[in-house]
Amino acid sequence: MPLTRLQSALSTLLGDARLVVSELPDCPLKLWLIDAQNMDRAFSPEETRRILEEPPYWSFCWASGLALARFLAEQPHWVAGKRVLDFGSGSGIAAIAAAKAGALEVVACDLDPLALAACRANAELNGVELTYSADFFGEADRFDLILVADVLYDRANLPLLDHFLSRGRQALVADSRVRDFQHPLYQRLGNLQALTLPDLMEPEEFRSVSLYHAARA
């Protein structure tokens, strides 16, 4: 069972941490997320080391993913009837939002097996079906849209922008960390507001999510 595997992995990292069903603000979805109470404490040096070595990013709903999910719920025409791949899927929130908005097919793609397990558990929680991939470059060039949220947290990842359109006709990129990238194919659509859950009390600047769109010529 994906949920049992996820809980075991989280317990190994943080002892008494638990995954709980969490409602999302202004979003019709819910996710299995790390309980907020466990984040409201000091971590031991050993816990800090483990978190840095194996961050359980799949147990959070990051601001850009939440913003993109809201965007798709409000504007389903972006995905309705289309084949969609969610790159770096994490908890699976963008993939699930695309499925809820009427996508023909949604592939949740992530290198981390635990993230794919989180996607499975969260897809089941929301009553949608996804397919799963651990290898973006192993996928055929067959997608109408590539979704990307919270992937450009490091500028070293910016070259990925050149690859998204190798597997899809269009790409939607949402990011709160690197909001000012310049790329000839990507046009900024605007700003969205969201926060990470559980709330990490991040600086206000990280609650401002930039949304970009690119289309293959």
Name the domain count of the chain: 2
Does 128 lie in the same domain as 41?
no
Does 96 lie in the same domain as 52?
no
Domain final position from 36, 59, 82: 59
Does 196 lie in the same domain as 136?
yes
Does 130 lie in the same domain as 196?
yes
Give 34-89 pLDDT, tens digit per residue: 988 766 656 666 665 666 566 788 998 999 999 999 999 999 999 999 999 999 99
Does 201 lie in the same domain as 113?
yes
User: In this structure, are residues 211 and 182 in contact, taking their beta carbons and an 8 Å threshold?
Assistant: no
Does 137 lie in the same domain as 40?
no
Give 185-203 pLDDT, tens digit per residue: 999 999 999 999 988 777 7
Range of the domain at 137: 63-215
